[in-house]
Structure 1
């Protein structure tokens, strides 16, 4: 999405038959690296091993990939590095940044606490910033606040006390119960239901009004 519809050098044109230059692409000001992760997501693939099913482990793989990338393209080794993500990126980007920061510290300081020479086979990643756009960082809190956003915020879609607002509040409570169940008993059986229910039931009022929950003030 980000590569071909938002900030990449090209955008899809002619109903998918062609591409056109994106005048607002971030590549005008920086080098961009788009990564499908974890392995087997999007265009990425693996040749065996244990499937990755959580963000902390995925972050370790991202770090390993970045080391391989910098080894292959050493001209980028000293460049400032920024990690950006949108939506669910609010969940996995902090893990990636934490892994980079943790490994950088290990490269700078030996186990004994005294300065050490950087390992020759690993590159220090010059982490400069973290960018999150509409990041999903705490689903329980964020989904629970949707009724307030839709009914009381500066861009409210519905009047306070309307049937739409009452319905949203009831759905938000159900959503939070499902999310809490996922937190308490983490499995596909407990975590898939809130994923489907919360997005379908709490986002639907916005889409029915031809609005986006992320950019409702711009539409």
Structure 2
């Protein structure tokens, strides 16, 4: 017998219906009988943006617990779309996206959180999720961990379903899944899991998630197109004049064909974990290492790397750590005592686990993108043109090569300028439900470098307008 809103193991499922039932000083539990291993703790949290309602909580998967923030739209929360956001790493907290990039407040100095007028919450309700386990304020009871994007996708899809089922005002609302950097690997899998889960929801008499689009910023969706792109970014005037000396560039050029051949044979045509890992190490040493030795910021080729490794080359991020280590802030947002360790922007253990699992070396991620396009889900790939590590050249290469029914039309479109207030903001091409856009003068973290441009880009995208 299908589940319904009034059925369950005991013949009863009562959704929470409205955020008005949530309390500020204690969690309210959300469950659903279709997801017996999952529950969600959520509370009202009066912090960061006093102009909107803010909620925080945990996605509980038995002994694993994922922390999240949810901000209502500044415009019309009862009607505006919903955005899911994750940062990458793997292992980096979405607090970076929240407090450094696109959130409703930023923490860029020691004076705490300040309102961010160009937040993506201007016209959308938005989640920021610390995933997988071990990232940010997420934690496990007994050392459990997640080391693949496929595992992480199951948890996110279940959380999304529980949320929409409990808060009926969002049912059927347009839902967009977005992420940055390693989010280029995460988001296609997460969105596919949400889409496929809809079949089960419908079979059980529930409302499917209205998955409308995917947005990936400076993503590592296809690792292999980045190898040749690293040469072009550093040894040609693709974005800025060459930044590596001629002798090194000649040596890089001579190794490119071997790098491409080895990865194609051992990672793409027939996956062999030992040979694929060796090929990736070879390419990283010969193609990536020369840039890292320059001392330039891997996220912005126009500036040097500043600060220590924990600062991600941006010393401002230390203020986010200080802010989130404040006991008063942790109490206000409801951080579980089990997660009361010092906050870290990126968890090296999670990163290492994904590396050992060779999660990024699987070549099928673009196929998830094409599958979403074939099912009517819109896809936006946007890239700051000064980023080195997940650069626009590599992202353009894989979007042009992507096999889908609109491939020929997309590839035939020349890059053209897109503008804001009559000024060039970047270049773009699109066909059908697929769009590619660069953001001029932005690095890896587009909303940080170009907040006005990134907000207008997202607003146009949510409205279904072209660039």
TM bracket (short chain): 0.7 to 0.9
Out of 97, 100, 125, the residue aligned to residue 5 of structure 1 is: 100
CA distance in 2 between counterparts of 1:192 and 1:55 reads 19
Report the alpha carbon displacement of residue 75 of structure 1 after superposing the two structures with TM.
Answer: 2.0
Q: Given that residues 172 and 210 in structure 2 are in contact (C-alpha distance below 8 angstroms), is that contact kept between their aligned partners in structure 1? A: yes
CA distance in 2 between counterparts of 1:200 and 1:106 reads 46
Correspondence list, 1:55-134, <5 A: 55-108=149-202, 118-120=203-205, 122-134=206-218
Out of 181, 185, 196, the residue aligned to residue 273 of structure 2 is: 185
Report the alpha carbon displacement of residue 42 of structure 1 after superposing the two structures with TM.
Answer: 1.9
Corresponding residue for 1:114? Answer: none
Q: Given that residues 174 and 211 in structure 2 are in contact (C-alpha distance below 8 angstroms), is that contact kept between their aligned partners in structure 1? A: yes
Report the alpha carbon displacement of residue 214 of structure 1 after superposing the two structures with TM.
Answer: 4.3
Q: Deviations over 1:110-140 (max 9, x none)?
A: xxxxxxxx525x5421100000111101112
Report the alpha carbon displacement of residue 159 of structure 1 after superposing the two structures with TM.
Answer: 8.1
CA distance in 2 between counterparts of 1:41 and 1:164 reads 37
Q: Given that residues 171 and 201 in structure 1 are in contact (C-alpha distance below 8 angstroms), is that contact kept between their aligned partners in structure 2? A: no
Deviates more, 1:160-169 or 1:87-96: 160-169
CA distance in 1 between counterparts of 2:144 and 2:230 reads 37
Report the alpha carbon displacement of residue 201 of structure 1 after superposing the two structures with TM.
Answer: 4.2
> Is 1:44 matched up with 2:138?
yes
Deviates more, 1:59-68 or 1:45-54: 45-54
- Higher RCO, 1 vs 2 (CA within 8 Å, ≥6 residues apart): 2
CA distance in 1 between counterparts of 2:385 and 2:162 reads 37
Which ranges in structure 1 are unaligned for 5 or more consecutive residues? 109-117
CA distance in 2 between counterparts of 1:123 and 1:154 reads 47
CA, structure 1 residues 141+129, in 2 after alignment: closer, same or farther (shift >3 Å)? same
Query: Which is richer in strand?
Result: 2
CA, structure 1 residues 192+66, in 2 after alignment: closer, same or farther (shift >3 Å)? farther
Q: TM-score, normalised by structure 1?
A: 0.75
Report the alpha carbon displacement of residue 192 of structure 1 after superposing the two structures with TM.
Answer: 9.4
Query: Which is richer in helix?
Result: 1
Q: Deviations over 1:150-192 (max 9, x none)?
A: 3334324318982242254467678769977776216xx8699
CA distance in 2 between counterparts of 1:13 and 1:75 reads 34
CA distance in 1 between counterparts of 2:135 and 2:244 reads 41
Report the alpha carbon displacement of residue 77 of structure 1 after superposing the two structures with TM.
Answer: 2.1
Q: Deviations over 1:60-102 (max 9, x none)?
A: 1101111222234332222110000111100011001111111
Which ranges in structure 2 are unaligned for 5 or more consecutive residues? 1-95, 306-382, 387-439, 443-467
Report the alpha carbon displacement of residue 19 of structure 1 after superposing the two structures with TM.
Answer: 1.2
CA distance in 2 between counterparts of 1:67 and 1:199 reads 40
Corresponding residue for 2:310? Answer: none
SS at match of 1:13: coil
CA, structure 1 residues 97+41, in 2 after alignment: closer, same or farther (shift >3 Å)? same
Alpha carbon RMSD of aligned pairs, Å? 3.7
CA distance in 1 between counterparts of 2:233 and 2:98 reads 29
Corresponding residue for 1:115? Answer: none
CA, structure 1 residues 165+152, in 2 after alignment: closer, same or farther (shift >3 Å)? same
CA, structure 1 residues 6+177, in 2 after alignment: closer, same or farther (shift >3 Å)? farther
Q: Given that residues 12 and 20 in structure 1 are in contact (C-alpha distance below 8 angstroms), is that contact kept between their aligned partners in structure 2? A: yes
